[in-house]
Amino acid sequence: MTATLADVAARAQVSPATVSRVLNGNYPVAAATRERVLRAVDELDYVLNGPASSLAAATSDLVGILVNDIADPFFGIMAGAAQAAIGEERGAREKLSVICNTGGSPERELTYLTLLQRQRAAAVIVTGGALEDSAHQAAVGAKLARLADAGTRIVLCGRPPVPGDSVTATLAFDNRGGGRRLTEHLIGLGHRRIGYVAGPTERTTTRHRLEGHRAALEAAGLARTLDARVVHGSYDRRSGYDAALELLRQEPELTALVAANDTVALGACAALRDRGLSVPGDVSVAGFVDLPFSADAVPALTTVRLPLYEAGARAGRLALGLEPAPPGGIATVHGELMVRASTAPPRTL
């Protein structure tokens, strides 16, 4: 039914070995021969058998990109950028880079890693915050180690470094620094009662951003009880809405809010508006991570913009080994503070 390499060889009157060499282009072949082979390939419209090739070569051209939530553009941008960067690499063996959506579930994360291990993936890029659960982290660490010594390159993007030498490169986002700068910005304007809408409790991203927030408060002598004015929720709009209401209930005199990401910030803004408070007139809102639509959606938002596209593209290149790993294997990616509003001092209540 489907043409095989042998068929092509027969048609071009050469040996299978030669056809393979022409196709892989990594070996000298006479121009005339190559021509004949390529013509035969075309005439039979032969397509390489990936599994057979991978089996023989003991490596595949699959690159897996794991994301927590593909419906969130935060991940869409990173993953898309990585895939684009990998797709650039034309020539020789074209890589098939694919996105795997774990939905934030630890089991699915492991399942996908196993599935990729099965395919003998050439590389794996893991994006986004990790679950703060030592058992799961150990399991993932072990999986990555196995993948690594089966020859798979591992790149972490927007995820904290893991101990061990299995990871090829890590692009860590400066979540602490970002959280700190957002809060410092608000403090600098004179805000003293600042609420914090945090992400899900058991995620590294959540904790790091929150730590930055606390550090800024402490530096300004504003820290109170550890969990005062902090409400956790998931990274969705509804959660931001509810959290803002809860914060307002706890402390009606709030003059500013920091949100763990834009989606949550949008929800918080909606809640404030529904309470008759204007943003940023009455309450300033600052958010983490700038997505393309945020600017229009809430012109009043001040954010820390992480270079998601650039980071994703770089992760893609690192996965392919097109770019040298940073010294120590770890690079920290910093976000840029984007002040769009909230430059006025807080209202006096």
Interacting residues with a copy of itself (CB under 8 A): 1-2, 45, 47-55, 60-62, 64, 69-73, 75-77, 79-80, 83-84, 87, 94, 96-101, 103, 108, 111-112, 114-120, 146, 149-150, 236-237, 263, 266-267, 269-270, 292-293, 296-298
Cα angle: 168, vertex 170, 174; to 5 degrees: 175
Measured distance CA(97)–CA(102) in Å, rounded: 16
Looking at the DSSP assignment, which residues form a beta bridge with residue 195? Answer: 257
150 binds, among DNA, a copy of itself, none (CB under 5 to 8 A by kind): a copy of itself
Closer residue to a copy of itself (CB): 24 or 53:
53
80 binds, among DNA, a copy of itself, none (CB under 5 to 8 A by kind): a copy of itself
5 binds, among a copy of itself, DNA, none (CB under 5 to 8 A by kind): DNA
Closer residue to a copy of itself (CB): 115 or 187:
115
Give the three-class secondary structure for 346. coil
Cα angle: 75, vertex 272, 204; to 5 degrees: 35
Shortest distance, position 34 Cβ to DNA, whole Å? 7
Closer residue to DNA (CB): 28 or 91:
28
Binding mask 38-57 for DNA (x = CB under 7 A): --------x-xx--xx-xxx
Q: What are phi and psi of 36, to 5 degrees?
A: -60, -45
Q: Counting beta carbons within 10 angstroms of the beta carbon of residue 326, is it exposed (0 to 12), middle (13 to 18) or buried (19 or more)?
A: middle
79 binds, among a copy of itself, DNA, none (CB under 5 to 8 A by kind): a copy of itself
The number of beta carbons lying within 10 Å of the beta carbon of residue 341 is 16
Contacting DNA (CB under 7 A), which of 20, 183, 206, 261? 20
Q: Pick out residues in 55-114 that bind DNA (CB under 7 A).
A: 55-58
The reply on whether position 6 binds DNA by CB under 7 A is yes
Shortest distance, position 64 Cβ to a copy of itself, whole Å? 8
Could you tell me the two tokens for 64?
């897996």
Q: What are phi and psi of 69, to 5 degrees?
A: -155, 100
Closer residue to a copy of itself (CB): 196 or 235:
235
* DSSP, residue by residue, 53-86: HHHHHT---EEEEEES-TTSHHHHHHHHHHHHHH
Bond preceding residue 280 cis, omega within 30 of 0: yes
111 binds, among DNA, a copy of itself, none (CB under 5 to 8 A by kind): a copy of itself
Contact 63/93 with Cβ under 8 angstroms?
Answer: no
6 binds, among a copy of itself, DNA, none (CB under 5 to 8 A by kind): DNA
